[in-house]
Amino acid sequence: MWMRRWFATTTSMWTHGCAGSTSRRCARPHWRRDSNSVKVTRKIVEQAYAEGDCVIVGRGAQCILQHKPDVYHVFVYAPLRERIVRLRTRLEPGANVEQRIRTVDAERAKYMQEYFGKSWCNHHLYDLMISSHGDETRTAHAIHYAMSGQAGTGVRDQGSGVRG
């Protein structure tokens, strides 16, 4: 149970850029990334997988769990304009939103390359790649539909390992 709380909290902080903040407008968090933290993250992802019924967002889960047959990897993306609009409401006033997006994307790419030797956007790492187009409910339904086996192949989320 503590792992699920940890993942939920860190995912929320990463997604909203609000490490340690209770405000929706906040500065970008500083993340410590080194080989030890990656090893700990790998163990936590593997333990969450072993417990089952979990959704893991990011953290290299698409690489850590890539050979598990019962994991569904989804990469959810959005056009830059939509990302700018969404992030503008979450960052401090005056922040260079487009630069922040490009910086975070570059950090994600570097993390994947440095610790897993993989390209972050490599479509071979995912079962489905899907654009959110600003409609999270529609996207969630599309992912569920694809996972249910009623759709063809091809659904992908930003590094998420989903195990049902």
Parse the chain into domains and list their residue ranges: 2-18+30-163
d(CA 160, CA 156): 8
With a threshold of 0.75, does the pTM exceed it? no
Instruction: List the one residue out of 105, 44, 112, 36 whose CA is nearest residue 77.
Output: 105
Specify the CATH class of 2-18+30-163 in words: alpha beta
Q: What is the pLDDT of residues 31-41, one digit of tens each?
A: 456 778 889 99
| Of 88 and 9, more confident | 88
pLDDT tens-digit readout, 105-133 = 999 999 999 999 999 888 999 988 888 87
Q: Is residue 28 pLDDT above 60, yes or no?
A: no
Which residues, 6 or more positions from 64, have their beta carbon under 8 angstroms from its beta carbon?
42, 45, 46, 116, 161
> Which secondary-structure segment (H or E) carries 72?
strand 71-77
pLDDT band for position 6 (cuts 50, 70, 90): very low
